[in-house]
Amino acid sequence: MSVQHDAVQRADFDQFMVPNYAPAAFVPVRGLGSRVWDQSGRELIDFAGGIAVNVLGHCHPALVAALTEQANTLWHISNVFTNEPTLRLGKKLVEATFAERVFFCNSGAEANEAAFKLARRVAHDRFGPEKHEIIAATNSFHGRTLFTVSVGGQPKYSDGFGPKIQGITHVPYNDLDALKAAISDKTCAVVLEPIQGEGGVLPADKAYLEGARELCNAHNALLVFDEVQSGMGRTGELFAYMNYGVVPDILSSAKSLGGGFPIAAMLTTTDLAKHFSPGTHGTTYGGNPLACAVGEAVLDIVNTRQTLDGVKAKSEQFKTRLEALGKQYGLFEQVRGMGLLLGCVLNDAWKGKAKQVLDAATAEGLMILQAGPDVVRFAPSLVVEESDIDEGLARFERALSKLTAA
């Protein structure tokens, strides 16, 4: 039976909501696959993916079925108990990765919060309180809690909230010499994104991650990979670290893990996990049966060669067309990233105008993202249809044509 709802409009956001967001002028009301419809019935193609979240597009039948079945079975019982969907998903993540233990939570920030706390706890227990320093990369992004925003190397997100978490150092990304100069026996963890997402869709060099691994080993520090954006098939492997052959000690996952349903996970080893004994860390909703049932359905579809190889093929389709458009219209020369996390780096003439490109695309019925002011970001569904790629990029071309003709 359908429920009658009060009519609302975009203007209601400005009247009732905290103004920490500046949402688009239109309100999406329905999605299917890689298509979205707004309140007026206008159809858009979605290459934003809810910021790399809608890994299987909108309303994928397998996810709808998993959620519906679980919604009619068991919603929430807290971590005073465990539940079957949690155990199934945890087991499958362990079987598919380096990990031996999983901690479930609700967002990327919470997964990173758990990762950073675990790293400090391990160092405290094994070496004492002096070994607590964390090294992260400038222009990184690890979440919005006070701890995670302090580890993220972007002052625009961390300034203005009082004293920051201490013991955090930032070094340039992809600069192994800088990391080597900063690390010491007081370092408990080095935290890196294998691909910087918010920082501009910038992949790590293989030698950089290999060097970071060696430095961590030499200094008894843990290597933490933030794969909130790069994980769950986004790069053509289940997690980006698999492309590099560099194994972290701790890994955070979120975004695509639930395909749109809020869930996150911290993955680690048995030896490290034992430092989180009962009561040291927790969450009310983490491991919720609804979220884990959906997460299991996502993993079952994503972690197949068919899906992962499809990501690589679609990536080439995007890159080839985007590079041609960049040359034709003169906005960008470089298309970087991996799999279906791609960024068009605007040239000097268009630097700072990523939002302008995004708005022009929206006007043509295409949803895309920016990664800072200088990079236009694409993070579509991993199973986006080739016809939708063609149509979406045709709309992107119309946007570029109008921008350069203006």
Annotated catalytic residues are 141, 226, 255
145 is in an annotated binding site: no
Q: Which of 198, 85, 96 is nearest to 141 (CA)?
A: 198
Orientation of helix 305-329 relative to helix 289-302, angle to 10°: 80
Identify the bridge partners of residue 36 per DSSP, sorted by sequence position. Answer: 31, 44
* Torsion of Cα atoms, 204 then 335 then 315 then 324, to 10°: -160
Q: Coil, strand, or helix at residue 340?
A: coil
In contact, 266 and 116? CB cutoff 8 Å: no
- What value, to the nearest 5°, has the Cα angle with vertex 70 and ends 67 and 73? 155
Tell me which DSSP letter residue 152 carries: S
**Rounded distance, CA 226 to CA 140, Å?**
10
Scanning 172-304, the segments in alpha helix (DSSP H) are 176-182, 206-218, 241-244, 270-273, 289-302
271 is in an annotated binding site: no
Q: Which residues of 220-245 are buried (b: 16+ CB within 10 A; e: fewer)?
A: ebbbbbbbbbbbbbbbbbbbbbbbbe
What the block records as the tokens of 197 is 């997402």
**Rounded distance, CA 142 to CA 136, Å?**
10
Q: Which of 104, 69, 94 is nearest to 281 (CA)?
A: 104
Cα 343 to chain centroid distance, Å, stands at 14
169 is in an annotated binding site: no
**Rounded distance, CA 220 to CA 366, Å?**
47
283 is in an annotated binding site: yes
Cα 388 to chain centroid distance, Å, stands at 23
332: left (phi over 0), alpha (psi -120 to 50) or beta: beta
14 is in an annotated binding site: no
109 is in an annotated binding site: yes
DSSP-based helix, strand, coil % in the chain, nearest 5: 40, 20, 40
Residue set of the binding site for N(2)-acetyl-L-ornithine: 144, 283
Residue set of the binding site for pyridoxal 5'-phosphate: 108-109, 141, 226-229, 284
Residue set of the binding site: 108-109, 141, 144, 226-229, 283-284
